[in-house]
Amino acid sequence: MFRLYIIVLLSFIPHYVFSNNNKFVVETARRGNSIYMLLKKYKLSTNKDNIELFKKINNKLLTKNDGLIIDKRYILPIQVIKFNGNTIRSTLGITDYNLAKKIEKYNLNLQKHNIKENYRPKGDLWVPVELYDFKNDYFKDIITGEELPDEVPDYSFLKLGKKIKPLNKKLKGFVFYLISGHGGPDPGAIGFREGYELHEDEYAYDITLRLAKKLIESSAKVYVIVQDPNDGIREDLYLKNSSDELLINGDTISTVQLTRLKQRTDLVNNYVAQNKKYKKQILMEIHVDSRIIDKRVDIYFYYRDKCSESEKLCNSLLNTIKRKYKLAQPGRGYQGNVSSRDLFTLRNTSIPASYVELGNIQNAEDQVRLIQPNNRQAIANWLFDGIISAYKK
């Protein structure tokens, strides 16, 4: 019997996670998923034996009613073997022709439904465990019932072309949840300049990505809740407008405002529950305001009422920006402020949070703050410095 194991996390492009010496397909549970649905998705038998095997493999990650927990990762009873480029039988060390044909048919079916890539010439061959005797000792290393190792968020959406390497450990043990305002079907506030439309979601997103990069470089774990599959950090004055943003889990952003807001807070709350072992979890939501054209608006902040840590964070951000302006533009002054506000995100999450408004997208002077790439980077740097000031004194 063949023995080659490691764990595979499948997500369009497979990611690899090591756990003991086992190698199996892993799927992240989404809202509405069940054991039956996952087995069906991967073209596996849904008989009693296979369901019981799934439950045994994942016994510490099921609810009392054998339900799945959103965003938890579950091992599927599918072993992953590197195809040797010759035959399935020689790859697996078996002589059973009919078994080899069943495995071939299974892989071709998954390929047909865009679930996996072709195993030829030397790709991954997926072997359903159900084709073997469940009582065989072969399974003793599989059935651990342990939670999979901590998953690092995928940062490829930043479009940097290379992996972000931590430069220091200033924020090691911190988890940040960054929400850029609006996105998808909702562009947010819209300003106009030199024939261009300035969409709030594009500028808030660019600054959010710049802040995310700074946080990751300081060893924080960062979840960017709204992501654009095509746009990373951009150096353009006028950012191209689009409506293709998705949520971090791949879900489409709802066209219904209340549902949109709930989608985001539900994701944050689920991740917060997973990351309880970290010493600090922080939420930041970044927006651009819209006022009358001649009204200049400095960066200002909202915090959750009766949450002293949220208030402390917002004041640290405010005071940092005040100091930065004093150094960079003496005599300019700074009229930003901090106040509590009963906003949906603040009301429906529990961790320390800051809701940031970057300026008036209608005002010509405030627009310069947004369209100049150097200014967008400065804002991200200042927000980062304010976070450091709040937590690393």
pLDDT at 22: 54
Q: Which two tokens stand for residue 263?
A: 């989608």
Start-end of H helices in the chain? 35-41, 48-57, 88-92, 97-112, 200-217, 257-274, 308-328, 344-347, 364-371, 373-391
Report, at the CATH architecture level, how domain 156-391 is classified. 3-Layer(aba) Sandwich (3.40)
What radius of gyration do the chain's Cα atoms show? 25
In the block, residue with structure tokens 């009358």? 292
Residue 16 has pLDDT above 70, yes or no: no
The mean-pLDDT minimum among 30-39, 124-133, 259-268 falls in: 124-133
pLDDT one-digit tens code per residue, 358-370 = 999 999 999 999 9
Calculate what percentage of the chain has a pLDDT beyond 70. 89
* Res. 9 pLDDT band, cuts 50 70 90: very low
pLDDT one-digit tens code per residue, 317-334 = 999 999 999 999 999 999
pLDDT at 193: 97
pLDDT at 24: 82
Q: For 105-147, give the DSSP string.
A: HHHHHHHHTTSS---TTT-EEEEEGGGS-TTSGGGTTT---PP
Residue type, 386: G
Which three-class secondary structure state does DSSP give residue 312?
Answer: helix
Which three-class secondary structure state does DSSP give residue 244?
Answer: coil
* Res. 147 pLDDT band, cuts 50 70 90: low
pLDDT at 7: 41
Start-end of H helices in 179-306? 200-217, 257-274
Boundaries of every domain in the chain: 7-139, 156-391
pLDDT at 156: 83
Residue 313 has pLDDT above 90, yes or no: yes
In the block, residue with structure tokens 């950012």? 239
Which three-class secondary structure state does DSSP give residue 180?
Answer: strand
pLDDT at 352: 98
Residue 202 in contact with residue 156, Cβ under 8 Å? no
For the four alpha carbons of 210, 213, 218 and 219, in that order, the dihedral sign comes to: positive
Please give the Cα distance from 347 to 343 (Å, whole number).
6
Please give the Cα distance from 149 to 18 (Å, whole number).
8
- CA proximity to 204, closest of 48, 350, 38, 361: 361
State mean pLDDT over 305-314: 97
State mean pLDDT over 18-41: 79
Residue 336 in contact with residue 289, Cβ under 8 Å? no
